[in-house]
Structure 1
C-alpha cells in the first residue's frame, strides 16, 4: 500500500480506538438539563432582556423598527448562550458565544442611539444599586424560576388578564419572586444602568470565552500527543 493509504488507515484506526479516551467536556456536565442557568453571563443577559422589554414597550409606535431590533438582539444574547451550551463540542459552543457577544454589542449600540434620540434618559451616577438590584441575588431568583421547585419558591404567571382585547405582556406579568425586578418600572431605567449591565455581561462572556479557548487548546494538544503516541506504537510493531 502507498504511504498515503497507510496514513489514512492509521488516522481512521486512531479515531476509533481513541474515541473513549477523549476527555469529557466538563463545561457541559450539569445535574439539570438546563446547565446554562448557572452561568452569570446568562443571568445578566436575561436581566438585560427584561430591561429592554420594559423600555421598548413605552416607545412610540413610529419607532417599531427600534423596538423590534432592540428586543431581538437582546433576546439573541440569551438564546445563543443557551444553544451554545447544548452543543456537543467546545468549538461549537465558542461559535455561539461569539454570536451572543455580537448581539450584545448591537444592543449597546441601540441603547446609545436611544439616548441620542431622546428616548432613554441619562442620569449620571445612576446604577443597578439605585434599583436595589443585586446581580447575585437576581441570579439565584432566576435559577429558582427555571428549576422545578415547590410553588412557594417558583416563579409564576399572575394577572394575565385581557385588557382592551389584548393580553398583557408576559414579561410584565411573570413574577420571578424578586421584588426589585418584579416591581421595576420603565421610567426607572437610565442609560447608565443599561451600559453598566451590558458591560458586566460582556465581561463575563469574554471570561467564559477565554476559559473555553484554553480548554479547546488542551483538547487539541491531547489529540496531537495521542496521535503521535499511536503512530509510534505502530512503527515499533
Structure 2
C-alpha cells in the first residue's frame, strides 16, 4: 500500500505545481500531469489483474512513469520554474508519509496481493485536502526540487521492494520442471562438495601452521 499512497500524494503535488506554470509551458504541464496519473493508475490496474506476472508488469510501467516525472521535475528546475531550497522537505510542509498512508488506508480499506499493494475499493470520494488537512493550505510556490526528489526517491525504493516481493511470489507460484529440479539438486550437491573441500583445506592449512610453530 505504501507505494500507492506515495504516488497519490506525488500526483497531488504535481497538480499543485503545474497549476502555477505559465500558459507557455502547456506541454510540460501536460507531460507532468499525464505521468502523475500514469504512476498511480498502473499500480491500480495491475493490482486488479488476475496474475502476479501481470501485476509485476504494471508495477514496471509505474516505475517508468516515475522516472519520467523525475526527469521532467529536473527540467522544470533547470528552466527556473521550480526553485531549490537546501534543507526543504516534506516534514517542513507538515506532511508525514506514515500518517498520510494511514489516513488514505483507513478511508479505502486495507487489502493485499503479494508484497505491498494499494487499498481496497473506494468507500466514497473525499478531496485529499479534506482527508489530510496539511494539504489544504499547500500552494505550488511551497514546493521545491528537494521535496519532489525526496518523495520520488522514497517511492522508487518502495516500488523496487514491491518488485522483489512479487518476483519471489511468482517464483513460488511456478512449479519447477523435472530438468529444473535436477539442476537444482546438482547445484546443491556441488555446493556441498565445495564446502567439504574448503573445510578440509582449512584443516590442512591449520595442521601445517601448527607443525611450523613446533619446528620453530
Shorter-chain TM-score bucket reads 0.7 to 0.9
**Which of 1, 5, 9 is 1:47 aligned to?**
9
Aligned residue number for residue 138 of structure 1:
100
Are residues 1:180 and 2:143 paired? Answer: no
How far apart in 2 are the matches of 1:155 and 1:219? 36
Mapping of 1:15-26 within 5 angstroms?
Answer: none
Residue 145 (structure 1) shift: 3.8
Q: 5+ unaligned residues in a row in structure 1: which ranges?
A: 1-38, 148-153, 158-173, 229-237
Residue deviations 1:81-137 (CA, integer Å, cap 9, x gap): 000111111111111000000000000001000000000000011111111111010
**Structure 1 residue 140 displacement after superposition:** 1.5
Partner of 2:74: 112
What is the aligned counterpart of 1:224 among 177, 185, 190? 177
Kept in 2: contact 1:49–1:74 (CA 8 A): yes
Shift of 1:223: 5.1
Aligned position for 1:72 = 34
* Structure of higher CA gyration radius: 2
Instruction: Please tell me whether the aligned partners of residues 84 and 96 of structure 1 are also in contact (alpha carbons under 8 angstroms).
Output: yes
Correspondence for 1:33? none
Which of 146, 161, 168 aligns to 1:207? It is 161
Shift of 1:142: 1.7
Q: How many Å apart are 1:155 and its aligned residue?
A: 6.2
C-alpha distance after superposition, 1:50-83 (max 9, x if no partner): 0000000000001000000000001100000000
Structure 1: 4+ residue segments shifted above 6 A? none
C-alpha change, 1:155 and 1:141, in structure 2 (3 Å) is: farther
1:156 corresponds to which residue?
126
Give TM-score scaled by structure 2 length. 0.72
Q: Structure 1 residues 45, 137: CA separation in 2 closer, same or farther (over 3 Å shift)?
A: same
Q: RMSD of aligned C-alpha atoms?
A: 2.0
What's the counterpart of residue 60 of structure 1? 22
CA shift in 2, pair 1:185/1:208, >3 Å: same
State the partner residue of 2:51.
Answer: 89
Number of matched pairs: 167
Ranges in structure 2 where 5+ consecutive residues have no aligned partner? 110-123, 182-216
